[in-house]
Amino acid sequence: MTSHDVIDRVRQRLKIRKAGHTGTLDPLATGVLVLCLGRATRLSSYFADHDKTYSAHIRFGVRTSTLDAEGEVIARSGSVPGRLEDVRVAVDAFLGEIEQIPPMYSARKMDGRRLYKLAREGTEVARRPSRVRIYGIDIIEFRPPDLHLTVSSSKGTYIRTLADDIGRQLGCGAYLAGLRRTAAGPVSVDDCVALNHLESIGSEEELQPFLMDPNRLLRDLPRLNLDAVQAGRFVHGNAVTNIEAGTALESGRIVRALYPEGVLLGIGRWRAADRMLKPVRVLRQPES
């Protein structure tokens, strides 16, 4: 099941016209998929910037066409590492900022076409490497040929590619045998509800316990409190001036607009020279 399949099912079951997500999960993967419903879809691109945490299962000695368990085997090796220290050295080499080449079986676009569609046609194209950051890799268990890791990374990181690269580093090949996203920014798997449970909901009242305050997902953005007049201008798409920022804000920063304190109206761009906030995305009216 793809992330888009999840969106379709939720949209149909809850009878919601607009729905989106904040970061694609591979069909093989399970775990956290943050959904934006209704007007919250206007903020989805800002939610997508969050770092992610994964529980990954890597199997050594085999390479596949998709870099995961769903692909065809394209190479085998009888030389699988047996020492934990050798594996640890190889894994640690990928800490920090690294370059990754996006897999052919991915949703990235090349000349307007999804890479996975080209791959299904038997076409492989050169891809530009992307710079991503691996914040941490913890080895949970190593029982050759299987390695279990916890990986914390920046957005845009392909754990499939990381698995393949670790296998190359060790000279034996590897593929991603299993993947679970355990956190996306401040949202952990413990905050989530299973899809089949979500589909059993029959009313808006039953849905309420599973809705999250967008402020939680945008908590890394500075906040500005607007009064009634300022809030009225903001939600109608007009710039608001002479705002008391409270703390020095760098001009050009994206900030949260709140009214009353704690209620998110949307996000705007701050201009320090005249203490002006220009709306970028409006989420709700002050009285909503």
Q: For residue 180, what pLDDT is reported? A: 98
Tens digits of per-residue pLDDT, 211-224?
A: 999 998 898 899 99
How many other CB atoms sit within 10 Å of the CB of residue 207?
15
What is the pTM (predicted TM-score) of this model?
Answer: 0.88
Name 269's Cβ contacts closer than 8 Å, sequence gap at least 6.
252, 253, 254, 255, 277, 278, 280
Residue 67: pLDDT band (50, 70, 90) is very high
Q: For residue 131, what pLDDT is reported? A: 96
Q: For residue 285, what pLDDT is reported? A: 65
Q: For residue 39, what pLDDT is reported? A: 87
Stretch among 3-12, 265-274, 279-288 having the lowest mean pLDDT? 279-288
Alpha-carbon distances, residue 21 vs 35, 43, 105, 115, 147 (angstroms): 4, 10, 20, 20, 30
Tens digits of per-residue pLDDT, 155-179?
A: 999 999 999 999 999 999 999 999 9
> Who has greater pLDDT, 60 or 117?
60
Q: For residue 72, what pLDDT is reported? A: 94
Which residue among 5, 8, 26, 92 is the active-site one? Answer: 26
26 part of the active site:
yes
> Who has greater pLDDT, 265 or 27?
265
Q: For residue 157, what pLDDT is reported? A: 95
